[in-house]
Each structure stands twice: as structure tokens, then as C-alpha cells.
Structure 1
């Protein structure tokens, strides 16, 4: 009987099963990690993030108070931000890219939707938000 003709031992079969299960668990872990991480806006491709931003902003309402921290938690850091202190209030306008205008690898205000906060609370969003901010100047 040659060494290659020896029957596979139970230990080798057990080891093979452990390796296969380990690889499956590892693969599932990597897949899950990628799915979780890609759900964060800052990890999305620019097209997906832009659509995510647009969809989220379109769902906003001024009917109940929304804190700036809630929006940043959902959308990530803004693409552009400006702030001013005026008459004992802090106004901040943040811009999130929602539509691509020019393929130049730069995000400009005309590619973004502004959100205006007064002392950390959302008071306006959309086209009129930036005008309200500049009026405070």
C-alpha cells in the first residue's frame, strides 16, 4: 500500500471541516463589515452619497425641531459650511451635495442644498435657506 492510498483519517476530515467553516465565517464577516461600512455616507461612492443626501433632505420637515447633530449623524460632515454670530444667535448654513453640475472633482454651492441652523436647530433648507443666512449678515 502506497502512502497516497492511505484512507483519510478522521482527524484530517475534522480539520478540513473546521477550515471550511472558518472560511465561511470569515467571508460572512467581511461581507457584513462591507455592508455596514458602505451604509455610512462618507463611505459611499459620490453618486450614491449625492442621492442619499437628496433623499434625506427631501424628507425633512420644519414641523418639529431637528438638531444639527441629528442631521450630521445622518449625512456626515457637510461639503461646505459657513457660520456667523448675529444678535446673540449663532447661524450656520451647511451645504450637502445633491446634484452634480460640473465634472471637475470640486463641490460648489450650486451643486448643493443648503440647510440653515439657528443655535443648532434647523430653521430653513432648500433654495431660500442661503438667502436667509445672508440676510442675517
Structure 2
């Protein structure tokens, strides 16, 4: 009986130390968010000005957030992709993202300075 208890304890400790969890029966790797951020930064660094919004979304996937507005009578859309972690709360806030700015569905730039130029 002691041996069975030890085996159970070792098994539980192994799962706890491995950094993985099961949520609703689905395996979730805690490193996923790190991989996503790294991948997003790598993909953003390869973007070219003038790329289509659809093409960018095809490459990067669904953004963490987005917004749309008009600036000087032209449609501006901003897609926010998570690229850094600042808060350990499980939520993605805008200060953890990089904004990609599109005018008339063409990429005109990315980063806070470009976003600020068009939003404010």
C-alpha cells in the first residue's frame, strides 16, 4: 500500500512539474503564449508596407483586438497582435500588443507611433 501511495504522489508531482494542464479534457501547454508572441513578432518583422489586410490576417491569424475609424475621410483599420507579456493576469491588453495600421485595406505601418499618428 505504501508503494502505491508513493507511485501516486510521484505521478502527481510529475504532472505538476511538467508545466502542462488539461482543461475540459484538452491538453494545454503553458508555453503556447510565448510561442504565439514570438511567432507574431517574427511574422510582423517580415511584413511589407502595402500588404493587404486579408493577406496579413491569413499570415498572422485572428488579432487579439481591432478597431476601425475614419481619418481625413479614409477608412483606417487597426489590428492588434500580442507580441509581449506585461501582466500575468491571463488577459491580453493593448499594451501587450503591436498595432498594425491599414488605410483602405493596405498596410501603412505598425507600432505605437504609426497608430498614434492616425488615432489621435
TM-score by length of 2: 0.69
> Counting helix residues as a fraction of each chain, which structure ranks higher?
1
Structure 2: distance between partners of 1:72 and 1:49: 14
- Contact 1:93/1:133 (8 A) holds in 2: no
Structure 1: distance between partners of 2:118 and 2:78: 7
1:52 corresponds to which of 27, 39, 43: 39
**Structure 1 match to 2:107:** 122
Structure 2 gaps, min length 5: 1-30
Taking a change above 3 Å as real, the CA distance of residues 49 and 121 of structure 1, as seen in their structure-2 partners, is same
Give runs of ≥4 in structure 1 deviating > 3 Å: none
TM-score by length of 1: 0.61
- Contact 2:71/2:118 (8 A) holds in 1: no
Structure 1: distance between partners of 2:72 and 2:57: 25
Larger Rg: 1
Deviation by residue 1:85-131 (Cα, 9 ceiling, x = unmatched): 34431101111000001110110111011110001000110121220
- Contact 2:80/2:100 (8 A) holds in 1: yes
1:109 corresponds to which of 79, 88, 94: 94
Aligned-partner SS, 1:91: strand
Aligned-partner SS, 2:51: coil
Structure 1 gaps, min length 5: 1-43
